[in-house]
């Protein structure tokens, strides 16, 4: 072997050793990195908060029995006024002013038997509706949007005008 050959062999051996070392370092490094990555992913999947974070913002309730609640702003008619005479004129007079359909007019004779039941019973009949011998009194005079207080005011106006 010439000197040049042995120098080449020495250099080549060193190069080989360095390459092997580099390979080992890369292999170990890669495996450490992979372990780390797997741990990291597991960690993230476990985090329960993620499920909450990625859940849809809204869902459709497919339960056919679900109660649909729609908020409707309840505004009493006549601006909520409890002016009994005004309510009577606008709603009740159509029947009670003329006696249409057997409605008792504002005459004492037409009311004598009715008031014997007591004012609470008479008021309840006006609110809930009532069918008697004379005819059919629709609930709240057909104006379901009237409040109980407004019907009461109208009844009080009627019974005080007899």
The residue ranges that bind ligand HEC (CB under 6 A) are: 91-92, 94-96, 101-104, 114, 117, 122, 125-126, 130-138, 140-142, 151, 154-155
* Closer CB to ligand HEC, 82 or 125, in the complex: 125
- Residue 141 DSSP class: G
* Token reading at 127: 């609110």
Judged by beta carbon, residue 17 or residue 121, the one nearer ligand HEC is 121
Q: For residue 102, what are the contacts with CB-CB under 8 A and spacing of at least 6? A: 134, 135, 136
Neighbours of 27 (CB within 10 A): 10
Q: Provide, rounded to whole angstroms, the least separation between the CB of residue 134 and ligand HEC.
A: 3
CB-wise, 39 or 145, nearer to ligand HEC? 145
DSSP 79: G
Least distance to ligand HEC, CB of residue 73, Å: 22
């Amino acid at each position: 072997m010439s000197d040049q050959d042995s120098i080449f062999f020495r250099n080549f051996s060193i190069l080989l050793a360095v390459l092997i070392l580099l390979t080992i370092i890369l292999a170990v490094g890669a495996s450490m990195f992979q372990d780390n990555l797997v741990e990291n992913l597991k960690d993230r999947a476990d985090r329960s908060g993620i499920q909450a974070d990625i859940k849809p913002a809204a869902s459709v309730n497919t339960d056919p029995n679900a109660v649909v609640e729609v908020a409707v702003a309840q505004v009493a008619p006549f601006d909520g006024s409890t002016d009994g005479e005004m309510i009577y004129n606008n709603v009740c007079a159509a029947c009670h002013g003329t006696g249409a359909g057997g409605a008792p007019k504002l005459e004492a004779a037409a009311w004598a038997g009715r008031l014997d039941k007591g004012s609470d019973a008479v008021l309840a009949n006006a609110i809930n509706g009532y069918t008697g011998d004379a005819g059919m009194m629709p609930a709240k005079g057909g104006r379901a949007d009237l409040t109980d207080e407004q019907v009461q005011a109208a009844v009080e106006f009627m019974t005080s005008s007899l």
